[in-house]
Amino acid sequence: MKIDPRHLMQLSAIVETGGLTEAATLLGTSQPAISRMLTALEARLGQPLILRDRRPLQPTLLGRALAEQGDAIRLAARRSADVADALRLGERGTVRIGGTPYFTDALISGMIAEFHGAHPSVRVDQRYGYTAELKALVKSGQIDLAICPVELLGEGDEDLSFEELLPGRNVVACRVGHPLTNVRPLRAEALLEYRWIEPPRGSPLIADLRTALLAIGARQVSVVYTGGSLTSLVNHLKASDSLTILPHSVVFAMRKSEEITALPLDLAHPPRSLAILRSGVSPAPASATRFAEHVISAFAELRSLIREHERNFDWGRGD
C-alpha cells in the first residue's frame, strides 16, 4: 500500500504538536484539511492512527510508526531547502579555478584556505596552466575562473571579462644573505657573474628573464636549472648563489620565511597584469562569484601592502 508522503508529513505534525489546529498552523494549512486527511487515511488503513479522546492527541502504535516516517520526510524537506538556499547564496557547491603555478602556490593557495575558513562547505577544484590554456578552459566552461597574467584581451576573447588584481612587476630573486644583497650601489652587470634558474616552459617569465638580461648586455647566460616548481626553485635558491626572475608579489608573499629576497634593481615592468578571468557570456555559480569576491578583496589588501613596501624599498636603477 502506497501512502502519500504529504500525509505522512501531516501525521508527523499532529504527533509533534498534539493537535489538529496546531499541526495546521505548523504546516501552513487549515484545520479542516488536516482533519479530512487523518479521517481518510485511517479509513484506508482500517484502524485508528490517533487517540482522539486524549489531550494532547496521542498516536496509536501504527500512528507513531508512520509519524516517524513523516519526521524523516519533513527533515529531508528542510535539509533540501537549506541546500537550495546555500547553493543560491554561494555557501555550498564547487568552484573550479585555474592559475599559473607560481602565483597559485605563493598567493592563491593561502587565499583558498582563508576562503574555507568562512565558507567551509564550498569545494575548490584547482588546476595549473598558463594564460592561453586557461583562457580556453574558461571559454569552454571547464573552469569557472582563472587567475593569471593577462596583457590586453585580443581577437577571439570577446566572451571573456577580466579584472586586474595586481600590476605586473618582476624582480631579481636570490637567497637571503646572497653576496649581491650587500653591494651598494648594485650595478646590473654584476648579475652576469652568477648562474640563473629559468622558469618552467610556457611561463611568460622566460621572456621577461631574457629581456632583462639582454637589457644589461648579456649575450650568453649560464642556466643551471629549469622547469622546477616554486618549492624546488626556492630550495635551490636558498642553497646556492643562483638568481632568477620572479613576480614581486610572489617574493613579497614569501617574505616571512626569510629565505629569499629581491635585489634592489628596478627592472622594466612587463606589459601585463595579474588578473581574474571569467566568462562574459555564461553566468557563474554563486559559489564561484563568492570566491572571486574573496580573491579580489584579498588582492586589494595585498596590493596596498606591496605599495607601502615599495615606497620604503631602495630600488636602484642598476646603472
Q: What does the pLDDT look like over 82-122, one tens digit per residue?
A: 888 888 888 899 999 999 999 999 999 999 999 999 999 99
* CATH fold for domain 170-262: D-Maltodextrin-Binding Protein; domain 2 (3.40.190)
pLDDT score recorded for residue 311: 77
| Amino acid (1-letter code) at residue 6 | R
Instruction: Name the grid cell of 234.
Output: 626556492
Sign of CA dihedral 35, 37, 38, 43: positive
How far apart (Å, rounded) are the C-alpha atoms in residues 252 and 238? Answer: 16
* CATH fold for domain 93-167+272-312: D-Maltodextrin-Binding Protein; domain 2 (3.40.190)
What does the pLDDT average to over 214-224? 84
pLDDT of 1 over the 80 cut: no
pLDDT score recorded for residue 219: 79
Q: Does domain 5-89 have CATH number 2.30.42.10?
A: no
What average pLDDT does the structure give for the chain? 90
Domains 93-167+272-312 and 170-262 share a fold: yes
Q: Provide the percentage of residues in the chain whose pLDDT is more than 70.
A: 97
Q: How far is CA 30 from CA 23, 25, 35, 70, in A?
A: 9, 7, 9, 18
How far apart (Å, rounded) are the C-alpha atoms in residues 291 and 283? Answer: 14
Instruction: Name the grid cell of 62.
Output: 501504527
Residue 8 in contact with residue 67, Cβ under 8 Å? yes
Residue 247 in contact with residue 237, Cβ under 8 Å? no
- β pairing state of 244-247 and 170-175: antiparallel
Would you kindly state where each structural domain of the chain is located, as residue ranges?
5-89, 93-167+272-312, 170-262
* pLDDT per position as a tens digit, 157-174: 889 998 999 998 999 999
* Contacts with 28 (C-beta within 8 Å, 6 or more apart), sequence order: none
* Contacts with 214 (C-beta within 8 Å, 6 or more apart), sequence order: none
pLDDT score recorded for residue 129: 96
What does the pLDDT average to over 182-196? 90
Instruction: Name the grid cell of 66.
Output: 508512520
For residues 139-173, one letter each, b for 16 or more C-beta atoms within 10 angstroms of the residue's C-beta and e for the rest, the string is beeebbbbbbbbeebeeebeebbbeebbebbbbbb
Q: Give the residues across from 276 on adjacent strands.
A: 147, 163
How far apart (Å, rounded) are the C-alpha atoms in residues 216 and 221? Answer: 12
* Contacts with 272 (C-beta within 8 Å, 6 or more apart), sequence order: 149, 150, 151, 168, 204
**This prediction's pTM:** 0.77
Residue with cell 571579462: 161
The string of DSSP letters for 124-141 reads: EEEEE--HHHHHHHHHTT
